[in-house]
Amino acid sequence: MTILAIIAGAIALWLVFTYNSLIKLKNQTLNALKQIDVQLKRRHDLIPNLVNAVKGEMKFEQDTLEKVINARAKAINAAQSGNMKEAFENENIITQGLSKIMALSENYPNLKSNEQVKQLMEELSHTENTLAFARQFYNDIATKFNIAQQTFPNNLIASALGFTSSELFELPADSKERENPKVDLTI
C-alpha cells in the first residue's frame, strides 16, 4: 500500500514538474515570436522613409523599390487577415529587396554622403539584423521546446497535456543565404 502511494506521489510530482517546464518553454517561445513581430512592425514603419529618401537617386532600381513597397502592403494585409503563410512569403521578398537596396546604395556617392540616408541605412541594417537574430533565437528556443516534447518520457504526456510542436522559420528555397559562404583559410 505504502509502495503504491509512493509511486503515485512520484508520478504526480513528475507530471507537475514536466508540465511546468513545458509551460515555461512554451511562453519563452511565444515571447520570442512576439519579438519578431515587434521587429517586423519597425521594418514596416521604416520602409516608406527609406524609399522616399533614396528614390530620387536610385532611378535605375525603381523595380526593386516598387517590389518592396508592394510586398510590404501585401504582408501587412495578410498578417491582419491572419494568413501567416502569405505574410511570411512577402516578408521574405522584403528581406531580399532591402538587402539589394543596401548593397546597391554603395554605388551612389550622393547617397553615401547624405547624412539622412546614412542614418536610415544604419537604422535599416539594425532592424534587419535584429529581425534575423530574433528569428534565430526563436528557432533555437522553439527547437528546445520541440525536443522537450518529443523526448521520452515527456512524449507520453505532452500531447495529452495539450502541447503542440512549434514551427521553425526556414529560408526560402531560392534565397541567397542558402548558398555556402566562401571561406578564406589563408593565414
Partner 1 sequence: MNIYEQQEKNKRLTFFIFFAFFAFFLFIGMGFDYFYSFGANQRGPKYVWNSAGYYEAKGTSNTFFPIGTLLASAFAVGMSINSAFNGHKFVLRSTMARRAVGLNDKEKQFLNVIKEMSIAAGLPEPQGYIVPDSDLNAFATGFSPENSYIAVTEGLLEKLNREELQAVVAHEMSHIRNYDIRVMTLAAALVNAISLISDWSVRSARYSSGRGYSSSRSGRGGAGGILIIIWFIFVIFAPLISRMLALAISRQREYLADASAAELTRNPLALIKALEKIRMSVDPTYAVNNGIAHMCITDPRGSLIEEREGLMGDLFATHPPMEKRILALKLMAYQMSSPSNSIGGAS
**Given the rule CB under 8 A, which residues bind partner 1?**
28, 32, 35, 118-119, 122, 125-126, 129-130, 133-134, 136-137, 140-141, 180-185, 187
**CB neighbourhood size of 155 (10 A):** 11
For residues 37 and 66, which CB has a smaller minimum distance to partner 1 in the complex?
37
Least separation, in Å, of the C-beta of 155 and partner 1?
Answer: 23
For residues 70 and 130, which CB has a smaller minimum distance to partner 1 in the complex?
130
For residues 71 and 138, which CB has a smaller minimum distance to partner 1 in the complex?
138
Least separation, in Å, of the C-beta of 173 and partner 1?
Answer: 18
Least separation, in Å, of the C-beta of 60 and partner 1?
Answer: 26
Q: Are 90 and 71 in contact (CB under 8 A)?
A: yes
Least separation, in Å, of the C-beta of 117 and partner 1?
Answer: 12
For residues 41 and 126, which CB has a smaller minimum distance to partner 1 in the complex?
126
Calpha distance 158→51 (Å, rounded):
47
Calpha distance 55→61 (Å, rounded):
8
Q: Are 169 and 140 in contact (CB under 8 A)?
A: no
For residues 49 and 70, which CB has a smaller minimum distance to partner 1 in the complex?
49
Least separation, in Å, of the C-beta of 141 and partner 1?
Answer: 7
Whole-number Cα distances in Å, 81 to 25, 34, 90, 94, 114: 28, 17, 14, 19, 38
Calpha distance 102→107 (Å, rounded):
10
Nearest Cα neighbor of 36 from 121, 130, 122 is 130
For residues 54 and 141, which CB has a smaller minimum distance to partner 1 in the complex?
141
Least separation, in Å, of the C-beta of 90 and partner 1?
Answer: 22
Calpha distance 129→110 (Å, rounded):
25
